[in-house]
Every structure is written in structure tokens, then in C-alpha cells.
Amino acid sequence: MKIILDGLEIPFADGLDKKIAGRLKQENLVIRSLKVNNVEMVNASLEEVLADPAAGKVVVINTAPAGELLRDAMLDARDYVPKLLGGLPEIRERLLEGNKKAVHALVDAALEGLEWLGLTFQAFISQGYFPAAEKVFTWEYSRLSTTLKELEAALRSGRMEAACDIFEQKIGPFLEKLLPLAEEMLQDEATGGKG
């Protein structure tokens, strides 16, 4: 088995996954990509990939500083917020058309997007960038939690019109507050500020 870590070939040995993980932690690096025989291993762990040292197997590991990956995620979040906002009225449009399957798909996608945004903001804040954002985000996110409970109740009882109202009147304003917050956080990080 051939193992290439950030362009350098390293010999395989038992416990190599733990050795690499230790190095990554020490250097504040994360795995950016993990490929086996040129196939991206999206949901596989390093331990899983290195568990079967087969002849001819080529494992390519590329790392990046954790902060760089967080910045990329925050840039993606900043770009995603307007798209999510733009998609909220589409939920009502599909409802008015009577397309319940499309409504459910859009609702699921919106909820998944909200969860990803929350995780991205929390990860960025956890690195100490723009501490003022933590208070604002925590407050807004806790309010969103209450809103999501209202949304869940509306969806369970089949009150789709009420669910659309919640998206437009409560979740939309939450997203509108995230966009400038993302900009401020990125600006703070770009200037090297942690305050």
C-alpha cells in the first residue's frame, strides 16, 4: 500500500492512523480530502481507509489548517444564505400548486440547510473569531430553536399554510440577520482579529 500525505510518501505501519491524527491535532490541521485509488472517500475515516493495507492500494491524504477550512465553510455559508432566503417563497408556491411532494422536499432541504448553517457558525465562533458574534448568534439561534418547534407542530398537524408563514415571517428574518453577521465574522478573521 502506498500512502501519500500532503505530497510526501510515508511508509505504512500499524497505528499509522493514530500517528497521523496526533500530528494533525498538534499542528491544528484537518483532512481536506481523502482518496483511495483516486476515489474520494467522503464519509470514510482515516482509520477505515488504512484498516485494509492491500497491495496496489494508493491512499492520498491532503490536509489544511483548520482555520482555512472554517473560513471556506463560512464563505460557503455567506453565499448560501441568500439562496436559502430566495427559496423560502418557493415553498408557498409549491403549496399553492398542490405539489405536496415538492413542498416536503423543499422543507427538508431548508431544514438541512439551517442545521448546516448553525454548525458552521458555531464552529467559526468556537475558534474565537469575532466574539461579539457569539452573543448575537446564540440569541438568534435559540429563538430559531423555538421557531423550529412551531414549524414542526405545524407540519405534523398538516397546517402547511402556517408552516409557510413561519418560514417567511420568522426563518426569513433570522437568515437576513445571518448575512451581515457572516460578513463581519469573515472580516474579523481576515484582519487576524479574535476580538
The reported pTM is 0.71
Instruction: Summarize the confidence of residues 125-154 as an average pLDDT.
Output: 82
Judgement on whether residues 181 and 109 belong to the same structural domain of the protein: yes
CA distances from 51 to 17, 22, 97 (A): 9, 17, 51
Tell whether 195 is covered by a domain.
no
Which one of 65, 98, 118 terminates a domain?
65
> Which of 82-107 are b and which e, b meaning 16 or more Cβ less than 10 Å from the residue's Cβ?
eebbeebeebbebbeeeeeeebeebb
Q: For residue 177, give its domain range.
A: 68-190
Reported confidence tier of residue 189, pLDDT bands at 50, 70, 90 = low
Domain count, the chain: 2
**For 55-71, what is the mean pLDDT?**
90
One domain, residues 113 and 125: yes
Q: Based on the domain organization, do 53 and 76 belong to the same domain?
A: no
Q: Would you say residue 174 lies in a domain?
A: yes
- Given a cut of 80, whether residue 140 has pLDDT beyond it is yes
Q: Tens digits of per-residue pLDDT, 71-130?
A: 888 899 999 999 999 999 998 898 888 888 888 899 899 999 999 998 888 887 777 766
- Amino acid code (one letter) for 49: V
State the average pLDDT over residues 38-50: 90
Residues 48, 134, single domain; the answer is no
Residues 83 and 157 in one domain: yes
Considering the domain architecture, whether residues 151 and 80 belong to the same structural domain is answered as yes
What percent of the chain shows pLDDT beyond 70? 94
Last residue of a domain, one of 31, 47, 65: 65
Same domain, 18 and 7: yes
Q: What is the mean pLDDT of residues 151-172?
A: 91
Nearest to 30 by CA among 38, 40, 20: 20
Share of the chain above pLDDT 90, in %: 47
Residues 15 and 101 in one domain: no
Going by pLDDT thresholds of 50, 70 and 90, the confidence category of residue 63 is very high
How far apart (Å, rounded) are the C-alpha atoms in residues 190 and 195?
12
